[in-house]
Structures are given as structure tokens and as C-alpha cells.
Amino acid sequence: MHPWTGPIVSVIPGTGEVPQIHDDISGGLRPSVVGERANLYVCGITPYDSTHLGHAFTYLAFDLLVRAWRDLGVGVRYAQGLTDVDDPLLERARATGKDWRKIAAQQTALYKADMAALRVIPPDSYRGVVESVPQIVAAVERMIDAGRAYRVPVAGSGASSLGDVYADLGADPDYGGLSRLSREAQDRLFSERGGDPDRPGKRDRLDPLLWRAARAGEPSWDGRTLGRGRPGWHIECAVIASAELDQPFDVLGGGRDLVFPHHEMSVSHSRALSGLEAPARLSMHTGMVHYDGQKMSKSVGNLVFVSELLDRGVNPAALRLALIGHHYRGDWEWRGRELALAEARLARWREAIGSVKPQGPSGETIAKIRSALARDLDTAAAIAAVDDWVSAAPLARERSPYAAADLRRAIDALLGIKLY
Ligand code: ZN
């Protein structure tokens, strides 16, 4: 699937440092790339409530990582999935009387437009679940053959049903290593986030669905030996990532609410399919955006949408600057006044850097931005370095018209903010 048209990214003199990022598995800072190419998989949206600020915050964090990799001079291979069929989308279709495909298409288009407006570099591969069904079917068949999955009969279904298929977590001794949650916490989150702990016939309450046999009124696809049906949530990312990237790839990413059950389960499925300990060397997750005192979420009803802000005339560069001003791992509260502050900052930057008049040298400032981003994407420090340059610019003794141009390009290439 075509993602969106990406921005033209400026080239700046010199090269950046290897970005160190916090790895959720080992709990420390680790080099985000070790070879000539950096490989990234990020979970995409389920297209029914896109794109709220929590989504945007997540994809901007990975965009900063991609930009730092490009600045380092390594090749980048970035794959992103799209959950274009799943329970929440079908529920939305039922609730609104709209066709689920229409909702998915409209919301995916909105998401792409929002990403383009925010100058997010598109993934090299943008792949949906619907277009990946044959590979998912093959993977589930392999898991059954390997004794890592089992069928559960569907009560009251037609005689043709072969039943649903669940992964057998008991067959994975490494299960639980990513989230490291208590059994109670797992049980609670599994119920809250799309799991079905009370489904009769499962070996373990937490065993996740791999293939849902066709039900009346639900979309379904040919599942070969599985019978008609549709994929479960976690297997899709395991399959799309392995289809698009060599394993183990460098970074598996998403919002922190995906750590459990989504990534824990999908990493377990990847292990069953590849025999590797994990599909990725590192796991990177972003913090949650709150609004009105609670995490921004559909269930609370406190979503703020990128497209609505842009429709109201908000400058996308100011929105980007406001969002990346928060460290990617922290939880934080969205307040409208952040936009005004970002607008004011942008105006100061434009005044000092965007003009053609001579300004002070910027090499040191560009080095500071690079170092800040290499330290676990410390965007606040990177922004502060630009602020410092802007404050000191009129006093600089050495004047060069090229310095401001270099800094302008660096702010574009590294932070994704275009000042001209
Ligand atoms: Zn995913």
C-alpha cells in the first residue's frame, strides 16, 4: 500500500552520532543500529479514530529516530503495519451503519494526510492486514503444525466451522519477558485491550486468538486448512514485520499501551515462527498523551485530532514542535496553550534563522542538536540548543550568512521543522 508522499529532507554538513535509545527489554540505553542499515518496525493505526495526538506523538518519535539514522549515513528500512480489519473497526461499522471498508479507507487517508502535514518521513513499506492474509494463514498453519497453536470449537456455529485458533503460550518458556507484569496485571490488561480471558476451551486464559473462524455478518477470507475467517491482532504484526524485514531487525516500536498484550504476544508468535529469541534487538515504546486529566483514548472520549486542529488553522510546524518538545518516553498532558508557545518559538526561530541577514556561526549548535538526539532522542535539549543560538545570535562576533543557512537545514533535517 502506498504510504504518503514524504518531505524533501535537507542535507547538512558532517554526520551525526549513533542514536542510543532506551531498550524496554534490557532496561538500558543501547545503540539503535549496529550495521550498515537500520531496520525498524512500528505498529500502525487501526483506522477508525485517526489521527489523535497520541498517535501523532508516537509516529513523530520514530520519525526523529529515522532522521537521526539518515543523518548518521546508514541505510534505513522502515516498515509499518496497518490494522485494517479488527474488532474495534467492525464495532464502529455496526454502531454507525457504515461499511467497515469505507471507514478504514477514509480514516487511513486522513492518517496519511496528517502524517504528510507533520512532515513525517513515510515508511518504506506500509502494509495492511487485509493484503497480508495469505501470509498470516500460512504462519498460523505452521504454528499448529509445530504444536504452538490449537483449535477451539465455536459453539453453535455451522458444521463447516473448523473452530478458532489460539496460540499456546504454555509452549513458550520465554513468554512474559518483554512486559514483565504480574499475572494479575496481565489478566486485567488482556481483558481491557481486546483479549477474551473467559472464552471456554482455551488452555490458558491469556492465550491469544490467531484466527477467528467466520461468523455471520463479519468479513472473512479463505484460510485454507484453517477454514474461512480473519486474523487475530497480534499475529498480523509478527507476520508483516517478518515479511518486510530481515530478523532480528533493530527496533520494534509503538505506543507503550502496546507492550501488553500486543507486543508480548506478537514477539511470542515471532519466536514460534522464526526460532529466534526475539524478532528485534531492541524494543522502544512511547509515552501516553493525556487530556483533561486522563489518557487520550476513545473509551474516555477525550481525543484531540490532528486534522481538526489543522482545519482550525493551526500551523502544522507549530503542532510538530509542541509535540516533540516532550520526551518520547514520558506521559504528559496536552494543553492548548502549548500551541501558542510553539508558535511564539517558531516566530523567534524564523526571525533569527529564517532570514537571509548574516548571523553567528552554527556548527557548535548543530553538534549540540545531534548529541542531544543521540542521547535517547532528548528533544528538549535539542530545542534548547536552538533557543540558545537564537538568543545569542545578535551578539556573535563572527558573522557568516552561511551559518544560519546550515542551522536552518539542520532544524529541517533533524527536527523536521521547516523554517522557510
Ligand atoms: Zn502491531
Looking at residue 354, which CATH number applies to its domain? 1.20.120.640
How far, in Å, from the CA of 297 to the mean position of ligand 1? 17
How far, in Å, from the CA of 254 to the mean position of ligand 1? 8
Does some domain include residue 402?
yes
Of 87, 81, 166, 167, the closest CA to residue 132 belongs to 81
Does some domain include residue 303?
no
Domain that holds residue 353: 337-420
| Phi-psi domain of 77 (left: phi exceeds 0; alpha: psi -120 through 50; beta: other) | beta
How far, in Å, from the CA of 37 to the mean position of ligand 1? 22
Strand partners, 332: 289
| pLDDT score recorded for residue 171 | 97
How far, in Å, from the CA of 172 to the mean position of ligand 1? 19
pLDDT in tens, the chain (420 residues): 999 999 999 999 899 999 999 999 889 999 999 999 999 999 999 999 889 999 999 999 999 999 999 999 999 999 999 999 999 999 999 999 999 999 999 999 999 999 999 999 999 999 999 999 999 999 999 999 999 999 999 987 554 578 999 999 999 999 999 999 999 999 999 999 999 999 999 999 999 999 999 998 899 999 999 999 999 999 999 999 999 999 999 999 999 999 999 999 999 999 999 999 999 999 999 999 999 888 888 778 889 999 999 999 999 999 999 999 999 999 999 998 999 999 999 999 988 886 655 555 678 999 999 999 999 999 999 999 999 988 886 655 344 556 688 899 999 999 999 987
CATH assignment at residue 65: 3.40.50.620
pTM score: 0.95
285 and 351 inside one domain: no
Q: How many domains does the chain have?
A: 2
287 and 353 inside one domain: no
Domain end among 261, 291, 321: 291
| pLDDT score recorded for residue 392 | 82
For the chain, the residue count is 420
How far, in Å, from the CA of 237 to the mean position of ligand 1? 5
How far, in Å, from the CA of 62 to the mean position of ligand 1? 14
Residues sharing a CB contact under 8 Å with residue 190, sequence separation 6 or more, in sequence order: 197, 205, 206, 260, 261
Decide: residue 65, CB within 10 A, 0-12 exposed, 13-18 middle, 19+ buried: buried
Does some domain include residue 322?
no
How far, in Å, from the CA of 126 to the mean position of ligand 1? 12
Q: Are 55 and 307 in contact (CB under 8 A)?
A: no
- Laid out side by side, the sheet with 164-167 consists of 149-152, 164-167, 209-213, 229-231
Distance CA 229, CA 118 (A): 37
39 and 140 inside one domain: yes
How far, in Å, from the CA of 279 to the mean position of ligand 1? 13
How far, in Å, from the CA of 238 to the mean position of ligand 1? 8
| pLDDT score recorded for residue 149 | 98
How far, in Å, from the CA of 420 to the mean position of ligand 1? 36
